Structure 1
Amino acid sequence: MKPLSPILPSPARRWAAAALAASLAGCGVMPASNTASTTAAPAPAPAPQRPVVIAAPEPETPSQRPSTLGASVAGQARTFSTQLATYTSVPFDTVPGWRGDDFSESWPAFLGSCKVLTGRGTEWKEVCARAAQVDGRNNPAIRNFFEREFSAYQIRDDDRRPDGVVTGYFEPEIAGSRQYAAPFIYPVYGQPEDMVFADARKLPPGSGTVAARIVGRNVVVQSGLSTRDMGAPGLYALDLSTITRDTLDRKVRLRADGRRLLPYYTREEIETKGAPNAKVLAFVSSATALYEMQIQGSGRIRLANGEIIRVAYAEQNGQPFRPTLAQSSSGKARSPVKTRGGAIELELDDGDDEVNDSSVIRTRGFTLAVPVASGAVMVPGRRVTGPVIGSGIKDPSYVFFKESADTAAGGPVGAFGVPLSAGRSIAVDPRSTPLGYPVFVSTRAPGSGAPMQRLTIAQDTGGAIRGAVRADYFFGNGQQAATQARRMKERGQLWILLPRGLAVAAAASSSIRTRGGAVGADLPQCLVPEEGSCVDD
């Protein structure tokens, strides 16, 4: 696939920003869908063989960098940084496609986010109050509102590259049953009652064993105790060498096994031993369809009588996302990835666009291998016919769902707590793009390659959505949405809209980092820390 714009060279040095000044949450938007909303006509496609050129601001010079200590204020600071990204102020007119978008399509999604954002600080409360006075059918009025109330900042990754990867996702629908009977033998589990949580920020460093207590659903490390105290009533031994600390929400998922606290069960353990402490919401007939629904994060289960069970993400087992990638004829992975910071990040490839290949699972930009052998799984309280060999899926991560009372035609509820809007909601990495914030995305449409440039709202996250310049469009539900989402994997660039006057990070004139060097300890990890979504150390 052709790049949307040349990758600009990184400067030898980068000015960094220090600690965050405010704890606020953000808004974001997604790509157009084929079902729930009407998509604005894309800009005319460029001549064949010519790439879509996205304007990018020049790297700032030393004279343009903030030189005073204190909060970086949106609308005043030229640039500021976090551990993962650099944000550079640009005029709205330089954002490609800004003038051609139909902002009335993103307006309902933005107002939905305002219901949450009004409780996140004075700036957002005032902005959303003024938004209520805007005519949602008047496109120029909406555009003027965003230009008046916000400042646009282009997001670059920690190497100052403006280009990233844009993929797509959808809400799948699969056949199922409330009862366990062939062919419906794969359980859709709710959140287990025996799962407990530890705050990774409060765990001691190192890989030793510490004493801990369980208080409600929380694990509390007991300081000042030695291994000789482990036998005391109510104490558990926690081996820190088994802990995965790299989670966005800084939650470590654990279970009690006798007097020990262990990482929660892997997929293989859940499938071969069952999950006796988790409610079964339904049963489905396809292990691979269930796996795709877990990766998508939501879905619909259609019963034989036509009833729809709508499920949404509730929890996950805390194990790392390690999918089995499909191999090309050359033996190379068909979806190139890189491991960085304990997580898999998707890279752009030039794979084929065949979405009906039954030998692979295409989902959220990944081309995954279908299990060679898939058989029965253990279901507590059910008599299983034949040997229990599991689904054959090697990924240790596992997603638990909750049943949603809303079975209407609207979108599922995303991580931000509001329904997703097809075509105007996106999933992001909340460390660099706070949830709720408007984000303008410039990329290509799947299949046609025509420019797709529109305002979206960041309202969801995903275990595989990692990186500063990374977005995942929600296409809605239905077959057309599934086809578009599976095809979507393009280069793209992002511009986040920040309310004018919002303090987001502190400028530190003494903080300098070089390309490939260690990240300064004074840089925040999150642009806007949000409990339960992105938590700074």
Structure 2
Amino acid sequence: MVHHTMKISSSSAASASSRRSHIAGVVVKVAAAAILGTLASCAVPPAPMPLPDAPPAAPAAGPVIERQGARWVAVDWLALPGWFDDTLAGAWPALQRSCERPAPGWGALCAQALAATPVDDAAARHWLMQRLQPYRVEAADGSADGLITGYYEPLVEARRTPGGAFRVPLHAPPADLATRRPYWTRQQLDTLPAAQAALRGREIAYVADPLDALVLQIQGSGRLRVTEPDGRVQTVRLAFAGHNDQPYRSVGRWLIDQGQLPAEQASWPAIKAWAQRHPQRVNEMLWANPRVVFFREEPLPDPAVGPRGAQGVPLTPGRSIAVDPRSIPYGTPVWLDTTEPLASTPLRRLVVAQDTGSAIVGAVRADFFWGWDGDAEAQAGRMKQPLRMWVLWPRDAPR
């Protein structure tokens, strides 16, 4: 997915897909059972990992690794806050999915990870500590403090034909998208006859609220519960298929600059509430973001499988993040040290870098994927927390 974090901040390096856009810039306090994903399939059923008799000793620190805009500083395992408290077996499905497209240097380890499943958290921890080295992620200036935001996969009611409240179209890419760069802006597509003509016949479905269309574009993908003309209802996925090559502008930032919302209150729920109070200004707000995302429709045979991130593998709620791939390669396990949105509860867990986004720039910067169920929208829309992070890298892999 390529997303713009709908967070309400601008995309600074200190400040979660690939083709996607996000909301709070549209990237868990979910119980361990809720974040388990399906395991990667293998020709031979994976053998369980034996429980180690005792945890291995922490490996010795290695050298500093320089990456574009980032430094990785080798540390001891004890430097990872909460490392011995996470339900690490819950992260295994996300790791196995990344191992379907292993990063350079991960081939041998990924073959092992796909062939075995830990019997419990202790076995998963043993496996990781025996094979990987933790590195603290820092910016080029040595700062280890950064920002984490959140994203999710929206579920929106839709109709195949316009009628009643359902009059806001979602479009497939226009036929002439590649011939005009940049393409028409959002305002031009809404108002100019020539621009509107290019979209005619490209409608996938219609939603009732223009903010629902915006959130799908910011997140870069989503699910539609579509009522067909014959009355059948089916749920399909909208996947990112392109954009108009215009810059992304945060509507939250526009509201702050207009004096409509204080910066500390500019969350996605607050934006929606503002739009309900000021319906006559909704288009003005929407047109402040000239970028438009186009979609393709995909079947959704298994609702438990997430959208594909920039790595090309399905995202796992609570275990996938979007990163700046110049600083952290796709498929890298990452240890997070942050807090829950609107709470002081620590959020310390193992995740996997599987996505990116236009607002996800810098070394210590991540977008946390909350999923699609329950309070995913609320959590993603409010998440804007301080962050520290560590990468786990094979000891013998190229750096």
Q: Could you say if the C-alpha distance between residues 353 and 309 of structure 1 is closer, same or farther in structure 2, counting changes exceeding 3 Å?
A: closer
Q: 1-side partners of 2:214 and 2:31: how far apart?
A: 24
Quick one: which of 308, 317, 320 aligns to 1:425? 320
CA distance in 1, matches of 2:371, 2:82: 23
Q: Is the 8 A contact 1:438 1:456 kept in 2?
A: yes
Q: Following the alignment from structure 2 to structure 1, what is the Cα–Cα distance between the partners of residues 133 and 201? A: 46
Contact 1:177 1:282 in 2 (8 A): yes
Distance 2:266 2:293 in 1: 29
Q: In structure 1, the residue corresponding to 2:312 is in which secondary structure?
A: coil
Cα offset, 1:456, TM superposition = 0.2
1:271 matched to 2:179: no
Aligned pair partner of 1:404 in 298, 305, 318: 298
CA gap of 1:392–1:107, structure 2 versus 1, over 3 A, is closer
- Residues 35 and 319 in structure 2, CA contact (< 8 A), matched pair in contact too: no
1:454 matched residue in structure 2:
349
Counting only pairs closer than 5 Å after superposition, residues 242-321 of structure 1 correspond to structure 2 as: 255-256=179-180, 262-272=181-191, 273-274=195-196, 275-276=198-199, 279-304=202-227, 305-321=232-248
Cα distance in structure 1, aligned partners of 2:148 and 2:213: 24
Which secondary structure state, in structure 2, belongs to the residue aligned with residue 144 of structure 1? helix
Tell me the distance in 1 between the aligned counterparts of 2:262 and 2:71.
Answer: 30
SS of aligned partner of 1:459:
strand
Which residue of the other structure, out of 108, 118, 121, is the alignment partner of 2:93?
108
What's the CA shift for 1:145?
1.5
Contact 1:31 1:425 in 2 (8 A): no
User: Partner of 2:148 in structure 1?
Assistant: 166
Q: 1:9 maps to which residue?
A: none
CA–CA distance in structure 2, aligned partners of residues 451 and 494 of structure 1 = 13
Shift of residue 270, structure 1, vs aligned partner: 2.3
The alpha-carbon distance between structure 1 residues 371 and 456, as it changes in their structure 2 partners (threshold 3 A), is farther
Partners of 1:428 and 1:471 within 8 A in 2? yes
Q: Which residue is equivalent to 1:482?
A: 377
Q: CA 1:418–1:31 in structure 2 vs 1: closer, same or farther (change >3 Å)? A: farther
1:190 and 2:172 are equivalent in the alignment = yes
The answer as to 2:279 corresponding to 1:359 is: no
Aligned to 1:458, the other structure's residue is in SS state: strand
Specify the SS of the correspondent of 1:115.
coil
- Given residue 359 of structure 1, which amino acid in structure 2 is its aligned partner? A
SS in 2 for 1:271: helix
Alignment TM-score, normalising by the size of structure 1: 0.58
Q: Find the counterpart in structure 2 of residue 510 from structure 1.
A: none
For residues 84 and 161 of structure 1, do their structure 2 counterparts lie closer, same or farther at Cα, with a shift above 3 Å needed? same
Q: Which amino acid aligns with 1:323?
A: S
Quote the Cα distance in structure 2 between the aligned partners of 1:142 and 1:131: 10
Give the helix-richer structure, 1 or 2.
2
The unaligned stretches of length 5 or more in structure 1 are 1-29, 40-73, 197-254, 257-261, 336-349, 362-368, 376-389, 505-537
Distance 1:35 1:283, change over 3 A: farther
Q: How does 1:13-412 map to 2 (within 5 A)?
A: 31=28, 33=30, 37-38=34-35, 77-117=62-102, 120-121=103-104, 123-196=105-178, 255-256=179-180, 262-272=181-191, 273-274=195-196, 275-276=198-199, 279-304=202-227, 305-324=232-251, 325=253, 327=255, 331=259, 334-335=262-263, 350-351=264-265, 355=269, 358-360=272-274, 372-374=280-282, 392-410=286-304, 411-412=306-307
- Provide, for residues 332-369 of structure 1, a one-character-per-residue CA deviation record: whole Å limited to 9, x for no partner: 9744xxxxxxxxxxxxxx448794664348xxxxxxx9
Counterparts of 2:153 and 2:91, CA distance in 1: 19
The Cα shift of 1:409 comes to 2.1
Per-residue CA deviation, residues 210-250 of structure 1 (Å, 9 max, x unaligned), is xxxxxxxxxxxxxxxxxxxxxxxxxxxxxxxxxxxxxxxxx
- What CA deviation, in whole Å up to 9, does each residue of 1:143-179 have, x standing for no partner? 1111122111111123221111111111111121111
> Within the alignment, does 1:495 sit opposite 2:383 as a pair?
no
Which residue pairs with 1:468 in the alignment?
A: 363
1:316 CA displacement? 1.9
Residue 438 of structure 1 corresponds to: 333
Q: CA deviation at 1:282?
A: 1.0
What is the CA-CA distance between 1:435 and the residue it aligns to?
1.3
The worse-fitting range, judged by mean Cα deviation, of 270-279 and 430-439 is 270-279
- Aligned pairs, number: 340
Cα pair 2:254 2:288 within 8 Å, conserved? no
Pair 295,176 (structure 1): closer, same or farther in 2 beyond 3 Å: same
Indicate the percent of aligned positions where both proteins have the same amino acid: 34
Q: CA RMSD in A?
A: 3.0
Q: Which has the higher strand share?
A: 1
Instruction: Kindly provide the CA deviation profile for residues 110-144 of structure 1, in whole angstroms up to 9, marking residues without a partner as x.
Output: 00110111xx54x3220011213433332112111
In structure 2, what is the Cα distance between the partners aligned to 1:400 and 1:394? 18
Larger Rg: 1
Change in CA separation of 1:354 and 1:311 when aligned onto 2, cut-off 3 Å: closer
Residues 452, 83 of structure 1: alpha-carbon distance in 2 compared, 3 angstrom cutoff: same
Counterpart-to-counterpart distance in 1, 2:345 and 2:328: 25
Q: Indicate if the aligned counterparts of 1:271 and 1:391 stay in contact, CA closer than 8 A.
A: no
TM-score, normalised on structure 2?
0.76
Q: What amino acid is the match of 1:399?
A: V
Q: Which amino acid aligns with 2:107?
A: K
Per the alignment, do residues 36 and 263 of structure 1 end up closer, same or farther by CA in structure 2, a change over 3 Å counting? farther
Between the aligned partners of 1:193 and 1:353, the Cα distance in structure 2 is 36
Structure 2 letter corresponding to 1:284:
V
Partners in 2 of 1:102 and 1:80 — Cα distance?
Answer: 28
Contact map agreement 2:32 2:90 (CA 8 A) in 1? no
Matches of 1:333 and 1:501, distance apart in 2: 50
Between 1:106-115 and 1:425-434, the stretch displaced more is 425-434
Q: Distance in 2 between matches of 1:421 and 1:354?
A: 22
CA contact (8 A) 2:134 2:391 kept: yes
Which amino acid in structure 1 is aligned with residue 186 of structure 2? R
